[in-house]
Amino acid sequence: MELLAQSGYDAVMDSNNVTTSNSSISKENFIHSLNLILPKDSVLHEAEDTRAFECDGLSAYRKLPWVVALPDTVEQMQAIVRICAAHQVPIIARGAGTGLSGGALPEKGCLLLSLTKLNKILEIDVNNNIARVQPGVRNLAISDAAKQYGLYYAPDPSSQIACSIGGNVAENSGGVHCLKYGLTVNNIQKITILTIDGELVTLGTDGYDNPGYDLLALMNGSEGMLGIVVEVTVKLLPIPEYAQVLLAVFDNVEHAGDAVAAIISEGIIPAGLEMMDNLAIRAAEDYAHVGYPTEAAAILLCELDGNQAEVNQQIQKVSTLMKSHQATNIRVSESEQQRLEFWLGRKSAFPAVGRMAPDYYCMDGTIPRSQLSYVLSRIKELSEQYNLPVANVFHAGDGNLHPLILYDANIKGELKRTEEFGAKILELCVEVGGSITGEHGVGVEKINQMCIQFSQFELHQFHKIKDAFDPNRLLNPGKAVPTLHRCAELGAMHVHNGKLPHPELDRF
């Protein structure tokens, strides 16, 4: 199915049928109300002050916020939300702004609610291996604080030095170690959310089971559309006794993809299993200088952890499998410093590729591991078709792709062509039985492809869930879940006799 190609923020939002705010309060009065709660310098409304909040990591779409609020306490947040609800002012919650799908993109007439000041680690409970943290705490800061107790927080996005835990919950973030240890949803014990009514609700418990519906899992990946995260209890794990990384070199990308499937098929679950193609390798090496083989068509980074005897045994098995799939060279980290250097190149890949072109477009889709070789070959064909280079760097072990499309937004029509190319990659993921996202969320970037991923009935259920939490649709409007009307306009959804099956949803 073909999707209508659109470029830029305004095109995305216009086609999503998002109306301007129906607020019953003027901007002047709204700012006055906020200043009764917050210090004057915590309420931003002039263009030069709000410019830093005009986009998240998806910088292709930009829009200045109407007003930005930076609360220091949960009580301030409650008061702000109640004012917004009373006057029908939509709210967009924002963490560190490292998201890559436009999930925190401002919208006309909305309050952008920044959570960066709520950045305290409230408790580290060593006996129960948990930490209670506020949403603005950086991902890496949790592991840094827990290290003295021999513990760490497992999900480690490439942006972990900057990204915040509240944003990780909103997008259900992963990282290079999510293959063995899971995504954010697998590492969260409990969260407290602020509802659109200004009430605090705790989901999950301090125990290992939770009665009733699993609303904690529902909240992970909900992109700020159901509630605003104000506290998170994360699970901490013992730091592995021993870990080593294999760096395997391949002269063919498809061989590397086949090796990934073979490793998992043998019942081996590495702590991390990452893949980079030649363009990504060269960019990372030029940036980080960690000794990557720049002539390789692809490399696999495979980390194994546990006790030393277990790791040594698995190193031998994985080495044998990689050689049987045409690995031309295999290097094993010989020290903790070298292990970290191998990962440094991979975690530096995004900023490294950014040095190779004026702009790049980071895609995020997930496929069955068995389809890796096919999908990579199709991406190569699409790259040639659109005449746009692609650097592939991704979580190969769980099939989470991150093709980075290089382009120049200053060239007329190139962003549009890039978006079309990206849409084709996402449709390809769905075609082979995968998903349009793995950890970056939908935001505004992939909202068209939601019409491909899900049926009209499934989308209808999403809207019903939204209604249960936020009946006036004030939380993060225009994101993640498309209207059925939008899908019908795109020709990407079956409708009955040209009419929407649920006309009551037209207004959204």
In DSSP notation, 413-435 reads: THHHHHHHHHHHHHHHHHHTT-B
Nearest alpha carbon to residue 228 among 444, 481, 470: 470
Mark which of 61, 81, 114 sits at the end of a domain.
114
| Confidence check: pLDDT of 198 > 90 | yes
On whether residue 11 sits in a domain, the answer given is: no
Among 60-74, 156-170, 203-217, 293-307, the range scoring the smallest mean pLDDT is 203-217
Band (24; pLDDT cuts 50, 70, 90):
confident
Summarize the confidence of residues 210-224 as an average pLDDT: 93
Q: Looking at residue 10, what is its pLDDT? A: 39
Q: Are residues 88 and 128 in the same domain?
A: no
Q: Are residues 169 and 277 in the same domain?
A: no
Cα–Cα distance for residue pair 343/301, rounded to 1 Å: 8
Q: Looking at residue 411, what is its pLDDT? A: 96
On whether residue 145 sits in a domain, the answer given is: yes
Q: Are residues 282 and 388 in the same domain?
A: yes
Mark which of 114, 148, 182 sits at the end of a domain.
114
Residues 241-254: tens digit of each pLDDT = 999 999 999 999 98
On whether residue 58 sits in a domain, the answer given is: yes
Q: What CATH number should be reported for the domain holding residue 135?
A: 3.30.465.10
Q: Are residues 197 and 95 in the same domain?
A: no
Q: Are residues 86 and 143 in the same domain?
A: no
Summarize the confidence of residues 218-231 as an average pLDDT: 98
Q: What CATH number should be reported for the domain holding residue 30?
A: 3.30.43.10
Q: What CATH number should be reported for the domain holding residue 371?
A: 3.40.462.10
Q: Are residues 134 and 219 in the same domain?
A: yes
Residue-range definition of the domain harbouring residue 471: 447-505
Alpha helix stretches (DSSP H) within 289-335: 308-324
Residues 261-291: tens digit of each pLDDT = 999 999 999 999 999 999 999 999 999 999 9
Q: What is the mean pLDDT of the chain?
A: 91
Q: How many domains does the chain have?
A: 4
* DSSP for residue 395: B
Mark which of 212, 238, 264 sits at the end of a domain.
238
Share of the chain above pLDDT 90, in %: 86
Nearest alpha carbon to residue 256 among 376, 176, 341: 376
Band (73; pLDDT cuts 50, 70, 90):
very high
Q: Looking at residue 500, what is its pLDDT? A: 39
Cα–Cα distance for residue pair 459/300, rounded to 1 Å: 37
On whether residue 2 sits in a domain, the answer given is: no
| Confidence check: pLDDT of 498 > 80 | no
Q: Are residues 32 and 174 in the same domain?
A: no
DSSP letters along 248-269, please?
Answer: EEES-HHHHHHHHHHHHHTT--
Q: Looking at residue 399, what is its pLDDT? A: 93
Q: Looking at residue 211, what is its pLDDT? A: 83
Summarize the confidence of residues 156-175 as an average pLDDT: 96
On whether residue 7 sits in a domain, the answer given is: no
Q: Are residues 488 and 426 in the same domain?
A: no
Per DSSP, what are the bridge partners of residue 404?
A: 362, 391
Band (65; pLDDT cuts 50, 70, 90):
very high
Q: Are residues 181 and 148 in the same domain?
A: yes
Cα–Cα distance for residue pair 490/447, rounded to 1 Å: 11
CA dihedral 425, 427, 430, 432 (to 10 degrees): -60
On whether residue 5 sits in a domain, the answer given is: no
Residues 438-488: tens digit of each pLDDT = 999 999 999 999 999 999 999 999 999 999 999 999 999 999 999 988 998
Q: Looking at residue 210, what is its pLDDT? A: 78
Sign, CA torsion 174/180/185/188: negative
For residues 89 and 111, is the Cβ–Cβ distance under 8 A? yes
On whether residue 42 sits in a domain, the answer given is: yes
Cα–Cα distance for residue pair 276/405, rounded to 1 Å: 14
* DSSP for residue 222: -
| Confidence check: pLDDT of 28 > 80 | yes
Q: Looking at residue 499, what is its pLDDT? A: 39
Q: What is the pTM of this model?
A: 0.90
On whether residue 459 sits in a domain, the answer given is: yes
Q: Are residues 227 and 151 in the same domain?
A: yes
Hey, which of 6-15, 204-213, 217-226 has the most confident mean pLDDT?
A: 217-226
For residues 49 and 68, is the Cβ–Cβ distance under 8 A? yes
Secondary structure of residue 62 in the 3-state scheme: coil
Q: Looking at residue 492, what is its pLDDT? A: 58
Cα–Cα distance for residue pair 463/467, rounded to 1 Å: 6
Distances (CA, A) of 298 to 247, 248, 279, 445: 10, 8, 9, 28
| Confidence check: pLDDT of 143 > 60 | yes
Q: Looking at residue 445, what is its pLDDT? A: 95
Nearest alpha carbon to residue 374 among 401, 348, 350: 401
Cα–Cα distance for residue pair 100/56, rounded to 1 Å: 7
Residues 404-431: tens digit of each pLDDT = 999 999 999 999 999 999 999 999 999 9
Q: Are residues 323 and 389 in the same domain?
A: yes
Cα–Cα distance for residue pair 352/359, rounded to 1 Å: 12
Q: Are residues 163 and 224 in the same domain?
A: yes
